[in-house]
Amino acid sequence: MSKSVLVINCGSSSIKFALLLEEQNFRIHGLAENLGTENARIKGVTVGNEPVDIHIPFADHKKALEVGLERLANYRPDAIGHRVVHGGSLTKAELINDEIIEKIREATPLAPLHNPAHLIGIEATKRLFPELPQVAVFDTAFHQTMPAHAYRYALPKFLYTAHGVRRYGFHGTSHAYVSERGSELAGSFKQGGWLTAHLGNGSSTCAVWNGKSVDTSMGLTPLEGIVMGTRSGDVDPSLHSFLAKNLGWDIYKIDKMLNSQSGLLGLSDLSNDMRTLIEASEQGNEDAALAIEVFCYRLAKSLAALSCGLPRLNGLFFTGGIGENSAYIREKTMTYLPHFGFSLDKNANNELKRGTEGRIDSGTGPQIWVVPTDEEGRIAREVQSVVELEVERNTAKKSQAEVMPA
Ligand code: ADP
């Protein structure tokens, strides 16, 4: 049994890490950023609640992990979990070995910014802790239960069979946690049909039937779907040829525009941050107001569409920085969704405190809940189950070998 799990989320120039101690009632967080540059630093590691800010000029991922973990010297992890964005066809968390590393590498064309960074993190922790079990937990894995009619694009078949062009979906760890926890709160653990709306800088929706993902808004990449901080979400696929033919843009420029200059930022021409936009809109900024309206309308449209994947609709869970904290966005979204009998309790919605779970419907239609996500906790639990299974397997092999000596 792993008593403490180090959860690592490695980006190209940053690492978020959290050490979760037994029964997850104690966590230590750290963020290493600007890696490889003069401004590389580690922030926020708190042992005994002491804030830390350490300057580590030109540190790479390994160095940053070394320095960060030195601060945790009294809390050595028993196992390590890596959040990996794209697992290709892998359907569950896996103990990391050469074969799994190769599979993560093979999925790189599908997540060119994320998977190479995860591999750097995996290499660094393998060198630092060669004796510890390491587990990869994939953002895509939860959605591997989608039926073909939800994951296939209407494109020539060979693009799917030979090149893996299909919808994968992301934020799986969050949708899995929130749908499980939410259905538990509703008294129907992993039963019935639920919609989840994970609304942060990246945002996506998911339809979950009896605890399994049956459809989601993100696709081949995390660009498809609803409006995000800087990502466009769905656009007409012909936009690419329009921009190429009329503005002479190449594919890299179009890609950058859709991923980094669009979404709330593109619409408002002001910010990708929802709080900033709500404040600006209250002060009369019309572009900010429109960005918020498009965000809520497209979110409602996505939820309505995903409900087609559910034989029955029990309710909806809001999560993520926006979903957990903004009563205003939740209310505005629900005004576009009267069709299924959804009815928001405005007082309950407004009174829900930051970071708390709670029900916010009026009790007459499908339920509406706010469920703060816990991706780290979920990753740690998956790591523990993989490690426990491995221990059981090894014990069984050993006792078999003792019964039948070679
Ligand atoms: P990430 O996807 O990077 O994990 P978060 O889940 O932390 O992001 O969500 C960040 C978003 O949440 C930002 O757009 C931020 O403005 C928004 N947010 C946080 N608190 C509030 C709030 N009280 N009202 C509206 N938006 C909020």
Q: Tell me the per-residue pLDDT of 275-298, one tens digit each, with 9 for 90 and over.
A: 999 999 999 999 999 999 999 999
Which range in 47-56, 121-130, 206-215 is most confidently predicted, on average pLDDT? 206-215
Is 225 exposed, middle or buried (CB count within 10 Å of its CB: 0-12, 13-18, 19+)?
Answer: buried
Eight-class DSSP state of 115? H
**For the ranges 57-66, 168-177, 210-219, 393-402, which has the lowest average pLDDT?**
393-402
Q: Tell me the per-residue pLDDT of 360-398, one tens digit each, with 9 for 90 and over.
A: 999 999 999 999 999 999 999 999 999 999 888 888 887
Eight-class DSSP state of 344? B
Which residues is 7 bridged to in the sheet? 18, 81
Instruction: Ligand 1: list residues with CB < 6 Å.
Output: 200-202, 229, 273-275, 278, 320-322, 325-326
Instruction: Say how many residues make up the chain.
Output: 406
Give the number of the atom of ligand 1 that is nearest the alpha carbon of residue 329: 25
**For the ranges 30-39, 129-138, 191-200, 265-274, which has the lowest average pLDDT?**
30-39
Annotated catalytic, 287?
no
Taking residues 252-262, what's their average pLDDT? 95
pLDDT band per the 50, 70, 90 thresholds, residue 69: confident
User: Which of 53, 78, 98, 139 is the catalytic position?
Assistant: 139
Q: Which of 204, 270, 274 to mutate to test the pocket of ligand 1 (most atoms within 8 A of CB)?
A: 274
pLDDT at 354: 84
Q: Residue 244 Cα, ligand 1 centroid: separation in angstroms?
A: 34
Nearest CA to ligand 1 atom 3: 201
pLDDT at 269: 98
The answer to whether 132 and 79 are in contact (CB under 8 A) is yes
Q: Tell me the per-residue pLDDT of 307-353, one tens digit each, with 9 for 90 and over.
A: 999 999 999 999 999 999 999 999 999 999 998 999 999 999 999 98
Q: Residue 130 Cα, ligand 1 centroid: separation in angstroms?
A: 37
Give the number of the atom of ligand 1 that is nearest the alpha carbon of residue 272: 14
Q: Residue 8 Cα, ligand 1 centroid: separation in angstroms?
A: 21
Provide the pairing of β-strand 79-84 with 41-43: unpaired
Higher pLDDT, 376 or 76: 376
State how far the alpha carbon of 96 is from the alpha carbons of 85, 119, 132, in Å. Answer: 15, 11, 11
Q: Is the dihedral of CA 358, 361, 367, 370 positive or negative?
A: negative
The answer to whether 336 and 296 are in contact (CB under 8 A) is yes
Give the number of the atom of ligand 1 that is nearest the alpha carbon of residue 264: 14
Q: Residue 360 Cα, ligand 1 centroid: separation in angstroms?
A: 19
The answer to whether 383 and 2 are in contact (CB under 8 A) is yes
Report the mean per-residue pLDDT for the chain.
Answer: 92
Q: Residue 227 Cα, ligand 1 centroid: separation in angstroms?
A: 14
Q: Which of 175, 325, 374 to mutate to test the pocket of ligand 1 (most atoms within 8 A of CB)?
A: 325
Selection from 169, 107, 102, 164 nearest residue 142 by Cα: 169
pTM, two decimals, is: 0.93
Give the number of the atom of ligand 1 that is nearest the alpha carbon of residue 276: 16
Nearest CA to ligand 1 atom 13: 273
